[in-house]
Amino acid sequence: MTLVYGLGRSGLGVLRFLARRGRAACFHDDRPRPADLAAARALGFAACDPEPGRFRTVIAAPGVPIDHPALVALERAGAEVIGEVELAWRETGLPLVGVTGTAGKTTTTVFTARLLEELGVAAAAAGNIDPPLVEVADRPGLEAAVVELSSFQLERVRAFRPRVAVLLNLGTDHLDRHGSLERYHAAKLRLLANLTPEDAIVYNAADPRVRAAAEGSPARLVPFEPATEPRATNARAAALAAAALAGSLGRAADPGALEARALELPAVPGRFETVGRVGDVVVIDDSIATRTEAVQAALQAAPAPVAWIVGGEDKGADLGALEPVVRERVALVLAIGRDGPRFARAFTPYARTVVIEEPEGPRALERALEAALAAGGVASVLLAPLAASFDQFEDYKHRSRAFREALVRVGGEAWTAS
């Protein structure tokens, strides 16, 4: 018997995957949403208690901590606990590009999939971005998938082996989940655990930790040097990954030409994207910027003086590291969400701060925009939250959409990427 532990996007994807195979399973969620329960039951599955000794396999959602007491008890009773990425790979054997790193995963994943499509390879982007890998891995006619992999997903891989691994960088993130930088990096490096000489690893040669991990792998090494800005670096990595995967399928590709093409692709929403303006004030959405390094880069790049919208669920950000850029470029800090007040207190010595005391996420963003525009004297309004979104939004994509909608409500001119 199989237990699916945790519903949401991943768990429901697993249930649909199992239903297509006629596999017996039940599900458990510690805090189920009514809509998820209804969807699971509509697939023909029932809820059950996670009784140790009853299950041979447990497929846990990424959001369920690896040391969750129920999962530990199930493992001790003999169950194998895996994630949906491992399940999809075992069941289908689909050729995969696995992409991880602290920053740049989504853009690299999307660019790689688009480049493969242009090479005539039927490919899909999946994993940590929509849709989950289990939703596409058995799609008829699909030749490959490019999978964005978070540390939460990689914690649970066992035999998982992509044909091409992409390791972009190793910074600081998710310390609230992993407990230490070493454990976070160890989870990321699970991507390389099962590579063989038949596989390839595309890696950032300028990151010493990445280089050391890659050079310790038996896989074919495909190093790259970062470009001068993140999007170009992602394009370079995507070009090398697409060429490597295409080569494994017997199709030749020129990485240089692919890199040039990747630079022409539209930006991925929510990643330092100018989404509109109000009068002369530029409005920038960087909803994905939840790490100190990413926010620092965004504050450096946004037109100054900056009105900075920050807040949500803190993941262990290094606030002190942002002092110089906040002093130099930020005129107004607008703090939202659960940990917004703490962020505001930290930045009060360097910039004017306003706490937006509004529990509803979309309304909080609207009020933050209103406050930024009313204050005057700013060249840009930047959403770079430095925190996770789950206190007020479904995910960072929901936060991004809500920001754009708030821009329209305050009378802004929204731009659509061509």
What's the CATH number where 116 sits?
Answer: 3.40.1190.10
Does residue 280 share a domain with residue 226? Answer: no
Domain presence at residue 138: yes
What does the pLDDT read at residue 418? 35
Among residues 82, 107, 126, the one where a domain terminates is: 82
Q: Model confidence over 169-208: pLDDT tens digits?
A: 887 555 555 567 788 889 899 999 999 999 999 999 999 9
Q: Would you tell me how many other CB atoms lie within 10 Å of the CB of residue 256?
A: 11
Does residue 213 share a domain with residue 337? Answer: no
What does the pLDDT read at residue 176? 59
Contact of 98 with 149, CB cutoff 8 Å: yes
Domain presence at residue 249: yes
Predicted confidence band of residue 417 (pLDDT cuts 50, 70, 90): very low
Does residue 295 share a domain with residue 237? Answer: no
Q: How far apart (Å, rounded) are the C-alpha atoms in residues 68 and 48?
A: 17
Does residue 233 share a domain with residue 90? Answer: yes
Does residue 245 share a domain with residue 100? Answer: yes
Predicted confidence band of residue 301 (pLDDT cuts 50, 70, 90): confident
Domain presence at residue 268: no
Does residue 32 share a domain with residue 121? Answer: no
Percent of the chain at pLDDT exceeding 90: 77
What does the pLDDT read at residue 147? 97
Does residue 403 share a domain with residue 300? Answer: yes
Does residue 386 share a domain with residue 357? Answer: yes
Q: Would you list which residues are annotated within the binding site?
A: 101-107
Mean pLDDT across the stretch 390-395? 92
Domain count within the chain: 3
Report whether pLDDT(349) > 90: yes
Average pLDDT for the chain? 92
What does the pLDDT read at residue 175? 55
Q: Would you list which residues are annotated within the binding site for ATP?
A: 101-107
Domain region containing 186: 86-262
Predicted confidence band of residue 288 (pLDDT cuts 50, 70, 90): confident
Q: How far apart (Å, rounded) are the C-alpha atoms in residues 292 and 351?
A: 17
Instruction: Give how far Cα 319 sits from Cα of 21, 68, 220, Å.
Output: 48, 29, 39
Does residue 322 share a domain with residue 240? Answer: no
Instruction: Give how far Cα 298 sits from Cα of 165, 227, 303, Å.
Output: 27, 16, 10
Q: Higher confidence at residue 127 or residue 230?
A: 127
Among residues 231, 262, 293, the one where a domain terminates is: 262
Domain presence at residue 294: yes
Domain presence at residue 257: yes
Three-state SS at 335: strand
Mean pLDDT across the stretch 58-62? 95
What does the pLDDT read at residue 291? 83
Among residues 242, 262, 282, the one where a domain terminates is: 262
Positive or negative, the CA dihedral 226, 315, 398, 341 is negative
Q: Model confidence over 70-96: pLDDT tens digits?
A: 999 999 999 999 999 999 999 999 999
Predicted confidence band of residue 221 (pLDDT cuts 50, 70, 90): very high
Domain presence at residue 277: yes
- Give the closest residue to 385 by CA, choosing from 345, 328, 338: 338
Q: How far apart (Å, rounded) are the C-alpha atoms in residues 138 and 93?
A: 9
What does the pLDDT read at residue 103? 78
Q: What are 306's strand-pairing partners? A: 330, 380
Does residue 238 share a domain with residue 92? Answer: yes
Does residue 152 share a domain with residue 64? Answer: no
What does the pLDDT read at residue 173? 58
- Give the closest residue to 240 by CA, choosing from 253, 230, 229: 253
Instruction: Supply the CATH number for residue 403's domain.
Output: 3.90.190.20
Percent of the chain at pLDDT exceeding 70: 97
Q: Give the pTM.
A: 0.76
Domain presence at residue 171: yes
Q: Would you tell me how many other CB atoms lie within 10 Å of the CB of residue 413?
A: 12
Domain presence at residue 267: no
Sheet of 281-285, strand order: 352-355, 330-336, 306-311, 380-383, 281-285, 273-278, 413-414
Does residue 241 share a domain with residue 97? Answer: yes
Mean pLDDT across the stretch 311-318? 89
Q: Would you tell me how many other CB atoms lie within 10 Å of the CB of residue 283?
A: 28
Q: Model confidence over 4-22: pLDDT tens digits?
A: 999 988 999 999 999 999 9
Predicted confidence band of residue 268 (pLDDT cuts 50, 70, 90): confident
What does the pLDDT read at residue 413? 82
Q: What are 261's strand-pairing partners? A: none
Q: How far apart (Å, rounded) are the C-alpha atoms in residues 252 and 254?
A: 7
